[in-house]
Amino acid sequence: MIKATEEMSIQATEMKRLKEKVASLEIDCKLAQLKQKEESQKAQRMGERIKILEKDLTLEKPLGQTKEMLWSTIINFVNDIWPSIQVIFEQTELVKVATEAIQKVKEELGDKPEDANRLIHFLNSKNRYELHELKIEDRTKTILEIRKVLSKRNLILNSEEKCHNM
């Protein structure tokens, strides 16, 4: 019985030692699992970082930034010059209107400027009595009226030249 008690005591000690060893192994196992989980997360982060670096190496990011910068510059340039473009379109429309008006006046004038020069020459070559017979009472006033045609022609020619130069 003493021997059996001693044997039981040895077995109890052995069992206690084995339980401690199992507990120690379980702790080691949990630590290994945590370490494996950490390593797995670290590997995943490294994989994501590698993808980012690969994108940088393929120049996607720099090219994207360059595109963004170029478009920004283009948009700013267009915004800066847009008022000038609008003014050019307005001026073009005004030139068209002016050209049409000039053409209309030219058609109204017809051969009047050439006739006006002959009339002025004719009036200057006649004396007061001959003019009175033609029922022209004031030579100067009549010549001034005829000169309006010439002034109108000169105005049209100058306007036409300015429109053409625009």
Torsion on CA atoms 35, 36, 37, 41, rounded to nearest 10: 100
Q: Residue 97, Cβ neighbours under 10 Å: how many? A: 11
Q: Residue 163, Cβ neighbours under 10 Å: how many? A: 16
- The C-alpha atoms of residue 45 and residue 109 are separated, in whole angstroms, by 88
Q: pLDDT value at position 29?
A: 84
pLDDT at 104 over 80: yes
For the residues 38-57, what does the mean pLDDT come to? 84
Q: Residue 147, Cβ neighbours under 10 Å: how many? A: 13
Query: What tokens were used for 134?
Result: 């033609």
Pick the most confident of 18-22, 75-79, 105-109: 75-79
73 confidence band (pLDDT: 50, 70, 90): very high
> How much is the pTM?
0.44
Query: What tokens were used for 131?
Result: 């003019």
Q: pLDDT value at position 124?
A: 87
- The C-alpha atoms of residue 26 and residue 123 are separated, in whole angstroms, by 133
70 confidence band (pLDDT: 50, 70, 90): very high
- The C-alpha atoms of residue 17 and residue 118 are separated, in whole angstroms, by 141
For the residues 135-163, what does the mean pLDDT come to? 84
Q: Which of 126, 119, 127 is nearest to 143 (CA)?
A: 119
Q: pLDDT value at position 41?
A: 92
Among 57-61, 67-71, 96-100, the range scoring the smallest mean pLDDT is: 57-61
- The C-alpha atoms of residue 160 and residue 98 are separated, in whole angstroms, by 8
